Amino acid sequence: MVDYFSDRENGPRARTEQMISPTVWAGLVGTVQALINSAAFGLQFPARCPDGQAICGSDPDSLAAAVIAEMPGLAWPLETTSEVEDGFFSQRQPFAPDTLLILDFIEFVYASVAKPNPGKYHDFFSHHHLSFDQQVGQEEFRATVNRIFARNGVAFEMLSTGRLVRVLPLVLGDDLRRTVFNTGDRTLDNMLEECRAKFSDRNPLVRREALERLWDAWERLKSLADPSDKKRSIKIILDATASEPSLRARLEAEAMELNSIGNSHLIRHSEVNQVPVIDMDHIDYLFHRLFAMIQLMLRKQGAARSLMSRT
Write the DSSP symbol of residue 276. Answer: P
The pLDDT tens digits of the residues spanning 183-192 come to: 888 999 999 9
What pLDDT, on the 0 to 100 scale, is given for residue 230? 87
Residue 75, classed as helix, strand or coil, is coil
What is the length of the chain? 311
Q: How far apart are CA 198 and CA 206, in angstroms?
A: 6
What pLDDT, on the 0 to 100 scale, is given for residue 215? 92
What pLDDT, on the 0 to 100 scale, is given for residue 32? 97
Lowest mean pLDDT, pick from 95-104, 232-241, 243-252, 296-305: 296-305
pLDDT tier, 196 (very low <50, low <70, confident <90, very high otherwise): confident
Number of Cβ atoms within 10 Å of the Cβ of 141: 23
What pLDDT, on the 0 to 100 scale, is given for residue 305? 60
Same domain for 213 and 297, yes or no, is: yes
Same domain for 188 and 287, yes or no, is: yes
**End position of a domain, from candidates 113, 147, 166:** 166
Instruction: Report in angstroms the alpha-carbon separations of 299 from 10, 179, 200, 213, 219.
Output: 35, 10, 23, 20, 17
Lowest mean pLDDT, pick from 74-78, 144-148, 167-171, 202-206: 167-171
Same domain for 227 and 198, yes or no, is: yes
**End position of a domain, from candidates 133, 166, 199:** 166
Q: How far apart are CA 76 and CA 63, in angstroms?
A: 10
Average pLDDT over residues 153-165: 94
Same domain for 151 and 217, yes or no, is: no
The pLDDT tens digits of the residues spanning 215-232 come to: 999 999 998 888 889 889
Same domain for 284 and 231, yes or no, is: yes
Peptide bond into 276 cis (omega under 30): no
Supply the DSSP string of 150-219, one letter for each residue.
HHTTBSEEE-TTS-EEE---HHHHHHHHH-----S-HHHHHHHHHHHHHHT-S-HHHHHHHHHHHHHHHH
- Name which residue leads in pLDDT, 9 or 92: 92
Same domain for 120 and 191, yes or no, is: no
- Into how many domains does the chain fold? 2
Is the Cα dihedral 132, 138, 139, 145 positive or negative?
positive
Is the model's pTM score more than 0.85? no
Please give the angle made by the CA atoms of 27, 30 and 36, to the nearest 5 degrees. 145
Same domain for 176 and 53, yes or no, is: no
End-to-end CA gap in the chain: 59
**End position of a domain, from candidates 166, 184, 215:** 166
Same domain for 215 and 275, yes or no, is: yes
Q: How far apart are CA 218 and CA 230, in angstroms?
A: 12
Same domain for 45 and 190, yes or no, is: no
Residue 261, classed as helix, strand or coil, is helix
Instruction: Report in angstroms the alpha-carbon separations of 303 from 247, 252, 306, 311.
Output: 16, 17, 5, 13
Same domain for 131 and 19, yes or no, is: yes
Same domain for 73 and 174, yes or no, is: no
Range(s) of the domain holding residue 233: 170-310
Same domain for 51 and 155, yes or no, is: yes
